[in-house]
Amino acid sequence: MSETRELEVALGERRYPIRIGRGLLGDAAALAALVPGRHALVVTDAHVAPHYLPLVAAALGGKQVGTLVLPPGEQEKTLASFGEVMAALAALGASRDATVLALGGGVVGDLAGFAAACWMRGVRFVQLPTTLLAMVDSSVGGKTAVDLPEGKNLVGAFHQPAAVVADTATLATLPPRELRAGLAEVVKYGALGDAGFFAWLEAHADALLARDDATLAEAIARCCAHKAGIVARDETERGERMLLNFGHTFGHAIETQQGYGGLLHGEAVAVGMVLAARLSARLGRAPAADAERLAALLTRLGLPTTIPAGLDPAALLARMRLDKKAVSGTLRLILWRGVGQAEVVDTLPEADLLPVLSA
């Protein structure tokens, strides 16, 4: 096991650790210590289960352990799948001291976390992210949700994990497309608030794509530290935490319009960030050169930067109106002043968006 990096999310008197390192899922004693009660339910998907479920289940051998293996993909993040998790908890006889462990990517983490928030009005849960996207973003901060046909993450709750354990060894089995999708969320942290980190990513793009362990661990730690700080200052997204949605309103509209069967979340966010940057330039808020710098980095990382063919701009705009970041019938977007300088923009006229959506 390589050097382990340890961070902390501090929410007043509530605190939880983020551990980042290679081989952490093989530390049976540490995993078992995260489940203090009698019952544990491990929620995972069919891609992840063959690789890592036996390891986690063995570490919890002294507990009453249930497992739920779901089909992979965003299309499974539904109320029906939520019902399956609740049924699994009921079959286990899970009590108030139960722990739900989310072993997988963002879909599993969001779904298992929401179930943990609702079972007996809230039980302990632990994030065991196995994708880069989940490690740097969705596993930290306590956002849990499921999707509806009308929009992404419309049903959910804030429910903080008891711990996040990011085993970077799991990235070795991550499909290349999923790795690239995770890198979009890595770029987001530089784009929204850390110009120095953005430049570091430009310098280390090749090493990230090559899965250099030290480079990935550094990127994950920097993203988690950035997010932990924001969450500590704004747990329930009333202010600064909104900046973490840079690119997401556009991206969620694309995902929803494609029926969650087109671009991956990170790919849609990549497109969304470029659209937000170009809109910022169009409105005179930011240099056009910075938008092209962002697009160039994302292209180097193998990510899309344009809206997929066949999506109607008016339909995308209608999806954006239902996004949970819209307020009182007006659009709220995260735009920027340039690399590292995101900002919340309220009451943006819809007429300003259509040219960007139509480009």
Catalytically active residues are 121, 143, 185, 227, 237, 241, 245, 248, 252, 265
Instruction: Say if residues 286 and 338 touch (Cβ distance below 8 Å).
Output: yes
Instruction: Say if residues 67 and 54 touch (Cβ distance below 8 Å).
Output: no
Instruction: Say if residues 31 and 59 touch (Cβ distance below 8 Å).
Output: yes
CA–CA dist 260, 145 (Å, integer): 15
Question: Which amino acid makes up residue 72?
Answer: P
Sign of the four-CA dihedral 134, 220, 125, 323: negative
Residue with tokens 């292209």: 299
Q: What does R_g of the chain's alpha carbons equal in angstroms?
A: 20
Instruction: Say if residues 265 and 255 touch (Cβ distance below 8 Å).
Output: yes
CA–CA dist 21, 2 (Å, integer): 6
